[in-house]
Chains A and B, each alone.
Chain A
Amino acid sequence: MASRIVSFELCGREVEVLVKPMTTLQFVLRNQLGYTGTKEGCRQGGCGSCTVLVDGEPMMSCLLPVEDVAGRRVTTIEGITPVEGLAPIQQAFVDTNAFQCGYCTPGMVMLTTALLDHNPAPSREEAVEALGGNVCRCTGYAPIIDAIEAASASATGDATRDAGVMPDRSGER
């Protein structure tokens, strides 16, 4: 079969790509459309660094043939980043030092976007459970969970969950 044209909505814009059969969404994003925010990690669905939202739900773009998102709405890290400054979730990641090398961050931020969309005020346990498929080899995860709490607080106006206050984790393992 020859290459075919696939069209879908990417971050609010209609895009059309010419692809060989079963080219992954991840490959198309990075190599054909220049959306390099979505990272390539394991290509096995095991690390979460390629997480994007399809119709608002998190999926691994390395496991999705782009034909499978034809006509659907794809959101990447580029789509949630304002022209100026950062989205509140991104700012929360900065404020809590929720990354070191940064490779997992776009996936973490997209997962957090979906999480807060489903559950505006997740408990730490719910945040941990949601992030179960996203691997970070630098931070030990605690600052990422802090970022989720901070982002939730800034969105829901809960001052007791202020991003500027580092929580006391002395009792945790």
Chain B
Amino acid sequence: MTVADYFLPRSLPEALELLREHGPSLLVMAGGTVTMPLINEGISLPRQVMGLRFAGLDGLEPVDGGLRIGATVTLTGLLRQRHVPMLAQAARRTASWSIRNMGTVGGNLFTPPPGGDVAVALLALDAQVEVRSRDASRTLPLSEFQTGFMTTALEPGELVTGIGVPAVAGETAYLKFGRKEANTPSVVTVAVRVRREEDRVVDARVALGAVGPHALRASRAEAILVGSSLDPGAIDEAAEAAAAECDPFDDGVASAWYRRAMVRLFVRRALEGLAQPVAVEGR
């Protein structure tokens, strides 16, 4: 069975109308880097597909000290922006040049682990997901958007139109560990953000990728860090907690056992990087 209809809406209203008209059977595709391999192999056999390449959702602009990223901004677009260095860093470690020219930030939220690394950085930055349907719009935190393995909080008729990154304070670190340097699925991806006042941590985010059904926050590790001075004891305890609370899986990249061990190691490394007396970078 081949694709019967491929719609390429030229505007957001047109896209939302198509979604309303065709319902959940309409497969939404942005850059195609996840969907097309499945179609090429006959694993996915959609009858109706909507491509978003011309829907006008590719704007990227600073807003109130933060950043608004249109859903179809490419990973290359994210790499080139200078507003949020951790997002550029995450994009740079994702896939390869040609794939980054195609894959989108919005699409990355739907990319199953061990992919979807950009979402890990977004999670540490308290990103908000903008969702529109023909008749309504809402915004929800990324932490509530991804609900399971390849499942999201999207309702029928809704489309992700953009991602908002608020003006968040603190120092960040992003570490992706794969089997090779470039173009590699993740063994584990770690994004941390720590805000300190005086010497004490007042706010912490520890986001993990490739060790659960979707990007997730290690909330017990975060709680351990808050109130600490990022001392070696607190870092060890937080790394241990993150390793205990994640939910890793076996696949061709790594075993669950190895992934858990690497969570412990890379959370520690990320936090140790921030604990250095000299700040590595602003955000």
Does B276 interact with chain A (Cβ within 8 Å)? no
Asked whether, in the complex, the Cβ of B102 is within 8 Å of the Cβ of A134, the reply is no
Question: Which segment, of A17-25, A85-93, A162-170, faces chain B?
Answer: A17-25
Q: How distant is B32 from chain A, measured CB to nearest CB, in Å?
A: 5
Question: Which segment, of A28-36, A58-66, A98-106, A147-155, faces chain B?
Answer: A58-66
Kindly list chain A residues whose C-beta atoms are within 8 Å of the C-beta of B183.
46, 132-133
Does B258 interact with chain A (Cβ within 8 Å)? no
Asked whether, in the complex, the Cβ of A22 is within 8 Å of the Cβ of B97, the reply is no
Asked whether, in the complex, the Cβ of B37 is within 8 Å of the Cβ of A43, the reply is yes
**Could you tell me the distance between the alpha carbons of A99 and B3 in the complex, rounded to whole angstroms?**
38
Mark B27-49 against chain A: 1 for CB-CB distance below 8 A, else 0. 00001110011011100000001
Partner of B98, one of A128, A129, A133: A133
**Could you tell me the distance between the alpha carbons of A45 and B39 in the complex, rounded to whole angstroms?**
12
**Known contacts A48-B96, A111-B97: A65-B6 contact under CB 8 Å:** yes
Asked whether, in the complex, the Cβ of B102 is within 8 Å of the Cβ of A22, the reply is no
Nearest B residue to A20 by beta-carbon distance? B2
Q: How distant is A48 from chain B, measured CB to nearest CB, in Å?
A: 6
Partner of A111, one of B40, B76, B98, B181: B98
Asked whether, in the complex, the Cβ of B96 is within 8 Å of the Cβ of A63, the reply is no
**Known contacts A22-B6, A67-B6, A67-B51: A132-B101 contact under CB 8 Å:** no
Q: How distant is B87 from chain A, measured CB to nearest CB, in Å?
A: 18
Partner of A59, one of B41, B101, B182: B101
Partner of A68, one of B37, B41, B53, B98: B53
Asked whether, in the complex, the Cβ of A44 is within 8 Å of the Cβ of B99, the reply is no
Asked whether, in the complex, the Cβ of B181 is within 8 Å of the Cβ of A22, the reply is no
Does B5 interact with chain A (Cβ within 8 Å)? yes
Partner of A21, one of B4, B40, B53, B99: B4
Asked whether, in the complex, the Cβ of A63 is within 8 Å of the Cβ of B32, the reply is yes
Does A130 interact with chain B (Cβ within 8 Å)? yes
Asked whether, in the complex, the Cβ of A59 is within 8 Å of the Cβ of B102, the reply is yes
Kindly list chain B residues whose C-beta atoms are within 8 Å of the C-beta of A54.
101
**Could you tell me the distance between the alpha carbons of A133 and B32 in the complex, rounded to whole angstroms?**
16
Kindly list chain B residues whose C-beta atoms are within 8 Å of the C-beta of A111.
97-98
Partner of A1, one of B4, B95, B99: B4
Residue among A59, A129, A134 with most chain B CB within 10 A: A59
Does A51 interact with chain B (Cβ within 8 Å)? yes
Mark B1-37 against chain A: 1 for CB-CB distance below 8 A, else 0. 0111110100000000000000000000001110011
Partner of A60, one of B39, B49, B102: B102
Kindly list chain A residues whose C-beta atoms are within 8 Å of the C-beta of B37.
43-46, 63
**Could you tell me the distance between the alpha carbons of A64 and B99 in the complex, rounded to whole angstroms?**
11
Mark B159-186 against chain A: 1 for CB-CB distance below 8 A, else 0. 0000000000000000000000111000
Kindly list chain B residues whose C-beta atoms are within 8 Å of the C-beta of A114.
97
Kindly list chain B residues whose C-beta atoms are within 8 Å of the C-beta of A48.
96, 98
Kindly list chain A residues whose C-beta atoms are within 8 Å of the C-beta of B33.
45, 60, 63
Asked whether, in the complex, the Cβ of A60 is within 8 Å of the Cβ of B6, the reply is no
**Known contacts A63-B102, A67-B6: A44-B40 contact under CB 8 Å:** yes
**Could you tell me the distance between the alpha carbons of A132 and B36 in the complex, rounded to whole angstroms?**
20
Asked whether, in the complex, the Cβ of B182 is within 8 Å of the Cβ of A132, the reply is yes
Asked whether, in the complex, the Cβ of A43 is within 8 Å of the Cβ of B41, the reply is yes
Kindly list chain B residues whose C-beta atoms are within 8 Å of the C-beta of A57.
76, 101
**Known contacts A132-B181, A132-B183: A1-B5 contact under CB 8 Å:** yes
Taking A48-B96, A60-B33, A111-B97 as given, write out 7 further A-B residue pairs in contact, using a Cβ cutoff of 8 Å, ordered by the A residue number: A45-B37, A60-B99, A63-B33, A63-B36, A65-B36, A67-B8, A68-B53
Q: Report A's interface with B, CB cutoff 8 A.
A: 1, 20-22, 24, 43-46, 48, 51, 54, 57-60, 62-65, 67-68, 111, 114, 128-130, 132-134
Task: Provide 25 A-B residue pairs closer than 8 Å at the C-beta atoms, listed in order of the A residue.
Answer: A20-B3, A21-B2, A21-B3, A21-B49, A22-B2, A22-B39, A24-B36, A24-B40, A44-B40, A45-B99, A46-B183, A48-B96, A54-B101, A60-B33, A60-B102, A63-B32, A63-B36, A63-B37, A67-B6, A67-B51, A68-B32, A111-B97, A111-B98, A129-B182, A133-B99
Q: Which 10 pairs from chain A and chain B are nearest by CB?
A: A133-B96, A132-B182, A21-B6, A63-B36, A44-B37, A43-B40, A58-B98, A1-B5, A22-B3, A21-B3
